[in-house]
Amino acid sequence: MEAQERRVILVSNRGPVQYGREDGQRTTNRGAGGLVTALSGLSGQLQDAVWICAAMSDEDVVVAGESPSGVYPPELDDDDLRIRLVALDPTAQEDFYTVIANPLLWFIQHHLYDLKAGPNITRREMHAFDAGYAAVNRSFAAAVAEEVEAAGGEAIVMVHDYHFYLLPHEVRARCPGVVLHHFVHIPWPQPDSWRVLPPMMREAVFEGMLGNDVVGFHTERYARNFLLGCQELLDLPVDLRAMEVQVDGRVVRARWYPISIDPETFETLAASPDVLQHEEDLAARRRDQLVLRVDRTDPSKNIVRGFLAYDILLQDHPELAERITFLALLQPSRQDVAEYAAYLERIRATVDEVNAKHAIGDWQPIELHVEENLDLAVAAYKQFDVLMVNAIYDGMNLVAKESILVNERNGVLALSENTGAHDELGAFAVTLHPFDLQQQADALYAALTMPAQERRDRREACVRVVRQNDVAKWLQAQLADIDGTVEG
């Protein structure tokens, strides 16, 4: 039986829809983010799919109570996709999201800690791990197990991301016949990075993940790091050629599938009236050259250093004054986590400083937008001359792929060497070193002054890669590995 013929159970924290209430009426919003977009493509290929996700808004909790076994939201335009919202204890949910998943796991996996200052693991964190992270994983595991049992015990479970490292072990214990595939959307660091967590937590993470049949990452390096962690932290036998680890008489495979986009969907969006309207506005006010960044306000994106590098660029090249704009389109993210709220403040303060230092007349060197506005972002994708992605670490970075595809000015990607996207597009990008401000400033200058033919050649090469390695390929590779597991 192939993967597509079994019930497929998708698990992610953020789901494809979020319910709200306005003027007494229920409203539905399609979820945002790369994960949701990528998985939406998958659901269309399956006959019997259920997507289990957290009830996040108050109205989600009402829907979860009304329809515990799930709903078919008409907005998703897919009669075969049931959405099952898991209502969680609010305190457990808060500890899970704002203490353990973000920042603790996220910061470790993106190397964001300044270890002489944090994290401080206290009773609070230990409690949040047990009563928040582990408890939420157990609630989700129970929902998954119910779905597996209802399907006769033979379903395929596709788990997503760092929110659910403990879930696979729980599900396997209850449903031994299941196929478990887990895709991690963020970097997986080397074993020593995990030693920031006390043994109880890091071992729970690895043991939880070893409940899977296949563990998937964006790059080979992350997959290898996972296996090295199993070897060093759990003392398990690992085969780095076959990329697998033995545990409890089973084999767990580590694989890599670079996530991508659906080029057609993006091109259609780029031609939509709302995007064209924003593009017209941008074209009317733009200077000669546009440097763009589009990011969530996440410390891993390295936004402050990007502005400091731009400051150096303007200092080193006064001839750029009034001829260039740095357009920063930033979506507020995780503002209920203290570190994220503080980071947004630093972003605003840095923009004010750079603008105060260099502004001339009505020219503002940086134009900052802090809002969620996909149409504006796509209009800017079409218009940029240089896209800056200087992430400290980033699992993939889909902005690089989306933007180069629809860009109309032979824009150049200035891409951090620490992004998953750099493995695929680095050869045609200008590489940025995320901590070296002078290098970033020089690289921006090189990109801004690159000869037209070279810009064109590089962009066309990037576009070929994005078209070839599209999201359908990402999904097919995973389903093929799942089929291999089912047959094996």
Residues that bind ligand F6P (CB under 6 A): 14, 33-35, 161, 185-186, 333-334, 395
φ, ψ (nearest 5 deg) of residue 421: -60, -25
Nearer to ligand F6P, 15 or 191 (CB): 15
Strand residues in 262-393 grouped as ranges (E): 289-296, 324-331, 366-370, 386-389
Q: Nearest distance from residue 179's CB to ligand F6P, in Å?
A: 23
Go through the chain and tell me how many residues it has.
Answer: 488
State yes or no: cis peptide before 90, omega within 30 of 0. Answer: no
Q: Nearest distance from residue 163's CB to ligand F6P, in Å?
A: 8
**Distance of alpha carbon 415 from the chain centroid:** 16
Q: Nearest distance from residue 236's CB to ligand F6P, in Å?
A: 27
Identify residue 125 by its one-letter amino acid code: E
Residue 423's Cβ-count burial label (10 Å; 0-12, 13-18, 19+) is middle
Nearer to ligand F6P, 289 or 397 (CB): 397
Taking the C-alpha atoms of residue 339 and residue 478, their distance in angstroms, rounded to an integer, is 34
Residue 164: closest CA among 208, 228, 102, 126: 208
Crossing angle between the packed helical segments 471-487 and 34-43, to the nearest 10 degrees: 60
**Cβ contact 354:315 at 8 Å:** no
Nearer to ligand F6P, 37 or 355 (CB): 37
Nearer to ligand F6P, 129 or 162 (CB): 162
Identify residue 17 by its one-letter amino acid code: V
Residue with the shortest CB distance to ligand F6P: 33
Nearer to ligand F6P, 216 or 365 (CB): 216
Q: Nearest distance from residue 458's CB to ligand F6P, in Å?
A: 26
Q: Nearest distance from residue 158's CB to ligand F6P, in Å?
A: 14
**DSSP 8-class letter at 101:** I
φ, ψ (nearest 5 deg) of residue 247: -150, 130
Nearer to ligand F6P, 6 or 185 (CB): 185
Q: Nearest distance from residue 290's CB to ligand F6P, in Å?
A: 24
**Cβ contact 248:213 at 8 Å:** no
Taking the C-alpha atoms of residue 7 and residue 4, their distance in angstroms, rounded to an integer, is 8
Q: Nearest distance from residue 38's CB to ligand F6P, in Å?
A: 8
Residue 110: closest CA among 102, 98, 120: 102
**Distance of alpha carbon 75 from the chain centroid:** 23
Nearer to ligand F6P, 106 or 326 (CB): 106
* Placement of tokens 């002078």 in the chain: 438
**Cβ contact 244:251 at 8 Å:** yes
Taking the C-alpha atoms of residue 113 and residue 131, their distance in angstroms, rounded to an integer, is 24
Nearer to ligand F6P, 187 or 434 (CB): 187
Q: Nearest distance from residue 386's CB to ligand F6P, in Å?
A: 23
**Cα–Cα distances in Å, from 80 out to 84, 292, 323?**
13, 39, 52
Taking the C-alpha atoms of residue 216 and residue 472, their distance in angstroms, rounded to an integer, is 16
Q: Nearest distance from residue 78's CB to ligand F6P, in Å?
A: 20
Nearer to ligand F6P, 278 or 334 (CB): 334
**DSSP 8-class letter at 256:** E
Nearer to ligand F6P, 162 or 307 (CB): 162
Q: Nearest distance from residue 298's CB to ligand F6P, in Å?
A: 8
> CB-side exposure of 243: number of CA atoms within 13 Å?
17
Taking the C-alpha atoms of residue 450 and residue 446, their distance in angstroms, rounded to an integer, is 6
Q: Nearest distance from residue 337's CB to ligand F6P, in Å?
A: 9
Nearer to ligand F6P, 36 or 155 (CB): 36
Nearer to ligand F6P, 33 or 118 (CB): 33
Q: Taking the CB of residue 322, how many other CB atoms lie within 10 A of it?
A: 15
φ, ψ (nearest 5 deg) of residue 434: -65, -20
Q: Nearest distance from residue 186's CB to ligand F6P, in Å?
A: 5
